[in-house]
Chains A and B, each alone.
Chain A
């Protein structure tokens, strides 16, 4: 669709610009000896017709796009199209002059015009080139806007997919193993089995409700991680030990939901679960100078085979931190032989 003809407001602006051009040309013609009435009577209809001729520059800009054509191609095609258009412009001018000169009042004007043919031709070329430049600019503008629109749509889709992936992030094996623990406890420790059911129910409910929110206070995220760890402690017994050092001031900091949970889950499944004697998961959170720093550390089996897929959760955390805080937040991973550490730093924003 033609970018100017297709939109009324653009066509109006375009024609208004041509009126200005017409006035300028008329000023030049009066300088060359025509009366201003004569110049306007000559130029006004011509400019109006030529304005529409110049709209054909659209086809040139489409046929020879700047991005995929050589400079020579662009120059020759522009020059050729401008010459043809200007030839037409010249012909129209001649014809109009002939018509006008049949009236007595314009006869002297027609004579004076004859000397200005090169100037008229040059003006035609220039005006066409100007129109061509405008079309090229409009084309580039539309391409850029289309790309932007697509990028936006993509971002929306990605976010949607991420949210869905997040909901699916509750590892079904975590559920199966927890149910197996409950099955074991029902005979030996009925009260423990009931406690486990309550913990598991709370964890599932919180995971689902938190993941539908944009940002949550760190305290809620911590509570979720705690209930996850309590459940895993029933399963792993003394093998799983937790050392928490949480700065009270950090509780209100807003974070994307399920920021800590996948990290804590990794620490258990890729760390503690691989160790015969288990170990200690250390979680330290402190607030300093408007920044909240979170440090999670777990031991891991040095000989563990690398066919583990811990990258997905970490990648997800990294991208969500980036989406929410941009360059103000950072995530650092230290993968030692027997120790794994994740350090997050994020600006402390609160709801007030």
Chain B
């Protein structure tokens, strides 16, 4: 069976080299070419390819963000001029890492490794690994949520709060809810602690949205948001809140 491949690179010439190399290799089928990360996520959803040949530096979504969104569904070979991402690429379990410019033989070797990996059918916790490989220590400025072929980009300043829901977290942003398969602890770690506080086992709150904290009839603390919404505050959460405001 042919290996189905999607080429993702914002430069036409860079895609052309890969296309030319692949054309000479038997058993490879190029099912799509994408010029940015959004197209790549859509192509993975619609076409279910075996392999992404993925550039790192692209407009809108970079290669690592694409990996975080679709890495569970497809094998990835990074193709880039930048060698400083190589360690990170293997941390997120990329199949291979090609440095531009590269030879047809090197690309063939990468495809060989991809075939081997696909034959083993191993399931990797790609999303967690990719999130862990995010360049620290700067906190993320946006949250990416995949919704089938679509990608929602949520700027963190627009997020009201994040709520844990079983295996998912729910981002409340611009009056809508966005579900993502992730743990609240991971979300909390990626957000700036000066702006987002874990006020409860199930809630991380954007401090800009907090109007006041009240006591309810049973002496539980309740956070009142600017839009009137009420969220529970645990004892430890209240301690963290007062720790920030002091």
Interface on A for B, CB 8 Å cutoff? 173, 176-177, 179-185, 187-188, 234-237, 273-276, 301, 303, 305-307
Is B17 part of the contact surface with A, judged by Cβ < 8 Å?
Answer: yes
Bound form: Cα–Cα A234–B82 in Å: 19
- Beyond contacts A234-B13, A273-B10: 5 other A-B pairs, Cβ-Cβ < 8 A, are A181-B11, A184-B20, A187-B20, A273-B59, A303-B142
A-B contact pairs, 6 of them (CB 8 A): A180-B14, A180-B81, A235-B11, A236-B11, A237-B13, A307-B138
- Tell me if A188 and B16 are in contact (CB < 8 A): yes
Partner of B141, one of A179, A184, A305: A305
Assess whether A176 is in contact with B81, with CB atoms less than 8 Å apart. yes
Q: How many residues of B are counted as interface, with CB atoms below 8 angstroms from the partner's CB atoms? A: 24
Contact A184 B35 (CB under 8 A): no
CB contact between B135 and one of A236, A237, A276, A307 (< 8 Å): that residue: A307
Closest B residue by C-beta to A172:
B81
Q: Is B165 an interface residue (CB 8 A)?
A: no
Cα-based distance from A215 to B154 in the complex (angstroms): 48
Question: Is chain B's binding surface mostly helix, strand, loop or mixed?
Answer: loop
Chain A residue contacts of B101, Cβ below 8 A = 176, 179-180, 182-183
Pairwise interchain contact A173-B82, C-beta atoms closer than 8 A:
yes
Q: Are A237 and B12 in contact (CB under 8 A)?
A: yes
**Residues of B with C-beta under 8 A to A237:** 11-13
Which residues of chain B come closer than 8 Å to A276, judged between CB atoms? 10, 35-36, 59-60
> In the complex, what residue of chain B is closest to A188 when comparing beta carbons?
B16
Q: Tell me whether A305 and B17 are in contact in the complex, defined as CB-CB below 8 angstroms, given that A176-B100, A179-B100 are known contacts.
A: no
CB contact list, B138-152 vs A, under 8 A: 138, 141-142
With a cutoff of 8 Å between Cβ atoms, the chain A residues found around residue B153 in the complex are: 303
CB distance from B133 to the nearest CB of A (A): 15
CB distance from A274 to the nearest CB of B (A): 5
Cβ contacts under 8 Å, B60 to chain A: 276, 301, 303
Chain A residues, Cβ within 8 Å of B138: 307
Question: Nearest residue in A to B13 (C-beta to C-beta)?
Answer: A184
B99 at interface, CB cutoff 8 A: yes
- B59 lies within 8 A of A184 (CB): no
Closest to B65 in A: A305
Q: Give the top 3 A-B pairs by smallest Cβ distance, nearest first.
A: A176-B81, A180-B100, A184-B13
Cα A276 to Cα B9 with chains together (Å): 11
In the complex, what's the smallest C-beta–C-beta distance from A268 to chain B, in angstroms? 12
With a cutoff of 8 Å between Cβ atoms, the chain B residues found around residue A179 in the complex are 100-101
